[in-house]
Amino acid sequence: MKNDFRARNHPAYWAFIVHRTSGLLLTFFLPLHFWALGQAFHGAAGLDRFLDWTQNPLVKFAETGLVLLLSAHMAGGARLLMIEFLDWREWQKTLLAVAAGVSLVAVMAFLLNLV
């Protein structure tokens, strides 16, 4: 028999879900990102054509989502590296809160500058 959500309902597991989902979505996003930057082969005008499109509020919303994905994957990943490469200490439990905080701060900073 397999476990259901009740067995998985704890912070470290939510962190795993966030890490895996964000990693997968970022991987899918990368080709698009690289394509957009490739517009620079047509000079600044090429990039501007693309950047015009990003003025769309929906795209801005998606961009903010990407910043959240990236910062969450980075902060959550840093937490995993600390658990895996440093000797276990009780304080590592608080790393989760720190990771969540760092990614939120990044998104807030991005939003404040974007709007």
Partner 1 sequence: MSRRSEVLLWGAQRISAMLLAVCVIVHLVTMIYAVRSGLSGAEILGRTQGNVGWLMFYAVFVAAVSIHAPIGLRTILAETLNWRGQSANVFSAVVGLSLAMWGLRAVMAVFGGGQV
Partner 2 sequence: MENLQVRIWRGKENGDFQEFEVPRQESQTVLDVVTYVQRKCDPTLSYRFACRVGVCGSCAMTVNGVSRWTCRTHVDKVAEDNKVEIAPLRNLPVIKDLVTDMSEFFDKWAKARGRFAGSTTRKAEFAQVSPESKERKRVDAGIECIGCGVCYSACDVVTWNKDYLGPAALNRAWTLINDVRDTERAERLAAVAGDAGCHACHTHLNCTERCPKGLSPTAGIAGLKRAVLAATLSGEI
Which of 11, 14, 16, 48 contacts partner 1 by CB under 8 A?
48
In degrees and rounded to multiples of 5, residue 14 shows phi and psi of: -60, -40
State the minimum distance, in angstroms, from the CB of residue 4 to partner 1: 17
- What CA–CA distance (Å, rounded) separates 4 from 38? 44
Q: What angle do CA 22, 24, 26 make, to 5 degrees?
A: 65
Choose the one of partner 1, partner 2, none that binds residue 12, judging by a C-beta under 5 to 8 angstroms depending on kind.
partner 2
- What CA–CA distance (Å, rounded) separates 16 from 41? 38
Which of 4, 34, 52, 57 contacts partner 2 by CB under 8 A?
4
Please tell me the count of residues contacting partner 1 according to CB under 8 A.
41
36 by Cβ neighbours in 10 Å (0-12 / 13-18 / 19+) ranks as middle
- Give the footprint of partner 2 on residues 71-100 (CB under 8 A): 80, 83-85, 87-88
Which of 12, 17, 24, 59 contacts partner 1 by CB under 8 A?
24
